[in-house]
Amino acid sequence: MANTRTLILLRHAAAGNAPRDHDRPLTDGGNRDAAAAGDWIRHNVGSVDAVLCSTAVRTRQTLAATGIQAPTTFADELYGGDVDDILGQVALLPESAQTVLVVGHAPGIPSVAYELATVADLAADGRSGPDTDEVEPTPNPELQSLRSFSASALAVLNTDATWMQLPQRGAGLVTVRHPDR
CATH 1.20.140.10 is held by the domain 5-177: no
| Whole-number pLDDT of residue 2 | 57
Distances (CA, A) of 57 to 65, 145, 155, 179: 12, 26, 21, 20
Residue type, 181: R
Q: What is the pLDDT of residues 47-57, one digit of tens each?
A: 999 999 999 99
Q: How far apart are CA 157 and CA 176, in angstroms?
A: 9
Cα gap 172→77, rounded to integer Å:
24
In the chain, where are the structural domains located?
Answer: 5-177
pTM: 0.91
Strand order in the sheet with 172-177: 72-75, 50-54, 99-104, 5-11, 154-159, 172-177
The pLDDT tens digits of the residues spanning 117-171 come to 999 988 876 655 444 455 555 556 778 778 889 999 999 999 999 999 999 999 9
Kindly report whether the peptide bond that precedes residue 107 is cis, defined as omega within 30 degrees of 0. yes
